[in-house]
């Protein structure tokens, strides 16, 4: 038995032709409608809400170039010189960053005093030389050029020894904080 080819009714074929031949205006309208739906904000499940805007003080750019005369013996430690990087002023006190040069040779009677800082955040990066520290819960650790560490708020620590040429980058939040020296 021979199969008959089915033909579409003429009305159906005719109805399809106008849809295929849309005008340029109709195409643009359809494209615009598609864009506006694609740009709608969607509620996403499983994602955290966006962080609220910070209501802090205005910050500005801080640029600091190396100059030997910028190292001052006016910081927390008497055996160190500090080069302020301008972050405290630029951040309206939100943070402080400075390069610290510990002056050699190390004198443990002066240097090795257990203490903590009342800070929100503290990070140290060894730029040059090495430094040996004691950190509560960690113990003694020697950090060399390229090493870094963070110290949680109020963690007890002390410097045990260091190279005569050691330089450290320290970042602390907030810029102004209290240091408490502990007696053993």
pLDDT of 36 higher than 70 = no
Q: Say which residue, 23 or 152, is predicted with more confidence.
A: 152
Bridge partner list, 93: none
pLDDT digits (tens, 9 = 90+) for 90-132: 999 999 999 999 998 999 888 889 999 999 999 999 999 999 9
Q: Specify whether the CB–CB gap between 92 and 118 falls below 8 A.
A: no
Number of domains in the chain: 1
**Does a structural domain hold residue 33?**
no
Position 57 in a domain? no
Q: Flag whether 66 is in a domain.
A: no
CATH number (domain holding residue 92): 2.60.120.10
Q: Determine what percent of the chain is predicted with pLDDT higher than 90.
A: 56
Say if 96 falls within a structural domain. Answer: yes
Residue 31 inside a domain? The answer is: no
Q: Examine residue 91 and state whether it is found in any structural domain, yes or no.
A: yes
Closest CA to 80 of 98, 102, 105, 99: 102
pTM of the model: 0.68
81: left (phi over 0), alpha (psi -120 to 50) or beta: beta
Domain that holds residue 95: 71-112+121-131+142-153+161-176
pLDDT at position 85 is 96
Q: Is residue 103 part of a domain?
A: yes
Report helix, strand or coil for 111: helix
C-alpha closest to that of 137 among 150, 160, 155: 155
């Amino acid at each position: 038995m021979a199969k008959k080819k089915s033909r579409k009714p003429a009305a159906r074929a005719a109805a399809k032709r106008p849809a295929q031949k849309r005008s340029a205006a109709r195409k643009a309208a359809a494209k615009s409608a598609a864009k506006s739906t694609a740009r709608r904000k969607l509620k996403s499940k499983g994602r955290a809400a966006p962080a609220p805007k910070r209501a802090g003080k205005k910050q500005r750019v801080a640029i600091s170039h190396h100059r030997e005369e910028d190292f001052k013996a006016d910081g927390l430690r008497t055996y160190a010189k500090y080069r302020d990087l301008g972050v405290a002023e630029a951040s309206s006190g939100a943070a402080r960053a400075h390069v610290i040069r510990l002056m050699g040779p190390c004198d443990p009677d002066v240097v090795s005093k257990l203490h903590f800082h009342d800070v929100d955040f503290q990070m140290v990066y060894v730029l040059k030389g090495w430094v040996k520290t004691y950190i509560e819960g960690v113990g003694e650790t020697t950090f060399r050029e390229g090493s870094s560490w963070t110290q949680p708020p109020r963690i007890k620590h002390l410097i045990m020894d260091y190279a005569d040429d050691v330089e450290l980058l320290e970042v602390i939040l907030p810029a102004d904080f209290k240091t408490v020296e502990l007696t053993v």
